[in-house]
Amino acid sequence: MAKRITSVAIVIMILISTLLCYNFTSITASASMAHSSSRDVQSSGVGNPFNYGERNTPANASVSQMRAINHKMSVQEIKYAIFKEVDENWDLLKVRLGVTDREKVYALFLGLATRESTIGHNGDGGDLETNAGGSFGTNAAQAYGPFQTAVTAYKNNNPNFMTEYDVPEMKQYDLTQQNFYDCIISLHMGIRKVLHFVTLAINDQHMSGYTVVRNALKGFNTGWATPGDAAYYKDYPDEIIALAHWYYSNGHLYDNEATWTTDPRASAYRSNPWSWWSDASPSLASVSSTPQVIEEATVNPNADISKIKLGDANMDGEINSKDATIILQDYARSIVGKKTILTMSVSDVNKDNTINSKDAVFVLQYYALLIVNSNYGDMEKFMGF
């Protein structure tokens, strides 16, 4: 028995050494950002270094449990949650906002989150609710999350509210407490809501250039993308874009730093707030999304999920060090692209609803046992399921 344990340990060490030869990007490579500084953000986005899925909280959790999870989010975690949503909808956003600089769009939404909730800098993380009077969903101004996304953004809300069904390219979640109080979904719906008002600004108000985004932000706040007075613009959309410019020009897109409304550090960007954005050409042109390409390790896109075993991350029918490689690349965000239910179901080896280095270690341990004893059994047995 002792010899077998020693053999397994040696095999694991060899496998780990082999994996370290891969050009993995450590998410801790930089103290100021979670993704690799060598990454081409403009073409590939930041990836998903905090391993966010479609939700930030379990769908069956209570409201108090969900809010507690969101409350723990740091400023940086909220930033990368926003970036995830921007990256997943980039093909649409760059057309609707008329901006091809991805970091400008990151900054825009950081500015919105800062104006609405101080992006977690006040100690609330992603957990902030306003105007929750009455029963759930009855107040059109009831809003939650870093963007303070209102209940009106959701599908099947109060029939007396104005509908926002004109962004078919983005999923519109039903108005339920489990959706409303999830930070990731709230961010997704907030971005969708901005694009709803982009549509109104172009179609109904015949706006163009930066005024489209300026009045879409107004609509996000007031419900109307119509022209407003100078005092309102200064206080809300112009303040948002000035705060956005601060993040963009001062190296604070990716770290844990935040600004706040009226922060004197952003004063230099308030006198002509849209000057850095004025080349924008928003459009309602149709968008055909192109799936992002998976880099380095590959996954079988035609695999039958019913026949794939737990731990077979690349879905090639075998469980070996290649699967650990896939998981580690996914964790370190060398792989670009969205998570899918298919890969989650086989790569989440310990079934904790997260794909990370723990899953890779379990795969390596299991593979080492297979090398020592090819008849060891399957991953489900190894994990005790």
Whether 54 and 66 have beta carbons less than 8 Å apart is answered as: no
Task: Go through the chain and tell me how many residues it has.
Answer: 385
The single-letter code of the amino acid at 259 is T
121: phi > 0 → left, psi -120 to 50 → alpha, else beta; which?
A: alpha
Tell me which residue of 65, 223, 203, 84 sits closest to 146, measured CA to CA: 84
Whether 298 and 337 have beta carbons less than 8 Å apart is answered as: no
Q: End-to-end CA distance of the chain: give it in Å, rounded.
A: 24
Q: Does pTM top 0.75 for this prediction?
A: no
Q: Write down the H helix ranges in 130-236.
A: 177-180, 183-203, 210-222, 230-235
Q: Specify the pLDDT at position 28.
A: 36
Q: Phi, psi at residue 224, to the nearest 5°?
A: -135, 130
Q: Specify the pLDDT at position 341.
A: 43
How many distinct helices (H) and strands (E) make up the chain? 15, 3
For 50-66, what is the mean pLDDT? 93
Cβ neighbours, 10 Å, residue 363: 29
For 138-146, what is the mean pLDDT? 96
**Token pair for residue 362?**
């379990």
Cα 270 to Cα 273: distance, rounded to the nearest angstrom:
5
- Assign 268 to helix, strand or coil: helix
Whether 67 and 181 have beta carbons less than 8 Å apart is answered as: yes
For 284-293, what is the mean pLDDT? 66
Mean pLDDT for all residues in the chain: 85
Strands (E), the chain: 129-130, 143-144, 149-150
**Whether residue 345 has pLDDT greater than 90:** no
- Greatest mean pLDDT among 20-34, 103-117, 311-325 lies in 103-117
Query: Higher-confidence residue: 16 or 258?
Result: 258
